[in-house]
Structure 1
Amino acid sequence: MNKNILLLTTLLLTFLTVTKTIAQSTADQLRISEIDKSYWTEISRTVKEGDFEGYKATCHENAVLVTTSGKNKQSYPMTKALAGWKQGFLNTKQGKQLDNVQFRFSQRIGDATTAHETGIFYFTSHDSTGKLISEGYTHLEALLVKRDGKWLCLMEYQKAKASKEEWEALK
């Protein structure tokens, strides 16, 4: 009898663990799909179209940019970063340059209202004749929050330059 109780208890605990794992996996998949469609796709669109206001709208009002990918290690308000990037958006909108950004991820953690995304972004910029101006792969971490049904960047951390091989490994 004790063996049967032990077996039933073990089966019940296993069932509950598997059920919780499946539910969590489904929730993760739904969150990731939602973030891909409403956040990362929007970032790519705004960069490609030169939609500065659209890009700005993806950032929380208190968002922070951290960068250690260049010579200097810096952290500052995203509003300062946006001011520095604005001309590139305007040039793109006016057809003076063609910009593109793509994202691939190695880790995606979160719940219904928070997300921590780790991966690489690939940015290219061409002049109006199609000549490459700049290109680069960069390791990225992003902290997102969902406010009023919309995912917003709270922190973007551009960590270090990445290689094409690292990018390809994330397919």
Structure 2
Amino acid sequence: MIKTLHFFAFILLALFVTTKAISQSNTDDLRKREIDKTYWSEISRTVKQGDFEGYSATCHENAILVTTTGEKKLSYPMSTALARWKQGFLDTQQGKQMDNVSFRFSQRIGDETTAHETGIFYFTSHDSEGKLIAESYTHLEALLVKKGDKWVCLMEYQKSKATREEWDALK
């Protein structure tokens, strides 16, 4: 009888743990799909269309850009980066260049209103004739927060250059 009670207790505990894990997995999947739809896809769309205002709207008003990809290691307001990037958006919008960015992830942590995403972004820029003028793979971390019904960036950390092989490994 005691063995039977222990067995049933074990089964109930296993079912509870499994149900909890499935529930967390479903919550994580829902958050990732929501972020993909309302943040990462929006970033890609705005870069491709040269929509500077749309891109700016994906950033929290106090967002920070950290970059250690060049010789200097820098941290500054995203508004400063946006001012520097604006001409590229305008050139894309006017058809002077064609830009694209896509993302792949190695780690995605979060809850209903916060997320820390780690991965690589792949950026390309072509001139109006289709000639490649810029291409880069960059290790990325992003700290996101949900404001209302959309996700916005609090911090983007462009860590280091990545390789095509590292990008391919994240398929």
1:2 Cα deviation (Å)? 2.2
Counterpart-to-counterpart distance in 2, 1:4 and 1:67 = 60
Counterpart-to-counterpart distance in 2, 1:53 and 1:133 = 24
Question: TM-score with structure 2 length normalisation?
Answer: 0.98
Counterpart-to-counterpart distance in 2, 1:43 and 1:98 = 15
Residue 95 (structure 2) pairs with residue 117 (structure 1): no
1:70 Cα deviation (Å)? 1.1
- Which residue is equivalent to 1:142? 142
Write out aligned runs for 1:62-81 (5 A).
Answer: 62-81=62-81
Counterpart-to-counterpart distance in 1, 2:41 and 2:139 = 18
Counterpart-to-counterpart distance in 1, 2:5 and 2:64 = 55
Q: How many residues align?
A: 171
1:44 Cα deviation (Å)? 0.3
1:8 Cα deviation (Å)? 1.6
- Which residue is equivalent to 2:2? 2
Note the alpha carbon deviations across 1:55-74, whole angstroms, 9 max, x for none: 00000011110111111111
Counterpart-to-counterpart distance in 2, 1:122 and 1:30 = 24
Note the alpha carbon deviations across 1:90-120, whole angstroms, 9 max, x for none: 1111111110000011111111111111100
Counterpart-to-counterpart distance in 2, 1:16 and 1:100 = 45
Counterpart-to-counterpart distance in 2, 1:103 and 1:16 = 35
Backbone CA RMSD of aligned residues: 0.7
Stretches of structure 1 lacking an aligned partner (at least 5 in a row): none
Counterpart-to-counterpart distance in 1, 2:71 and 2:19 = 48
Matched to 2:129, the amino acid is T
1:131 Cα deviation (Å)? 1.2
**The residue matched to 1:71 in structure 2 has which SS?**
coil
Stretches of structure 2 lacking an aligned partner (at least 5 in a row): none
Counterpart-to-counterpart distance in 2, 1:132 and 1:169 = 24
Counterpart-to-counterpart distance in 1, 2:14 and 2:67 = 44
**The residue matched to 1:140 in structure 2 has which SS?**
strand
Runs of 4 or more consecutive aligned structure 1 residues displaced over 2 Å after TM superposition: none
The percent identity for this pair of structures is 71
Write out aligned runs for 1:24-103 (5 A).
Answer: 24-103=24-103
1:9 Cα deviation (Å)? 1.6
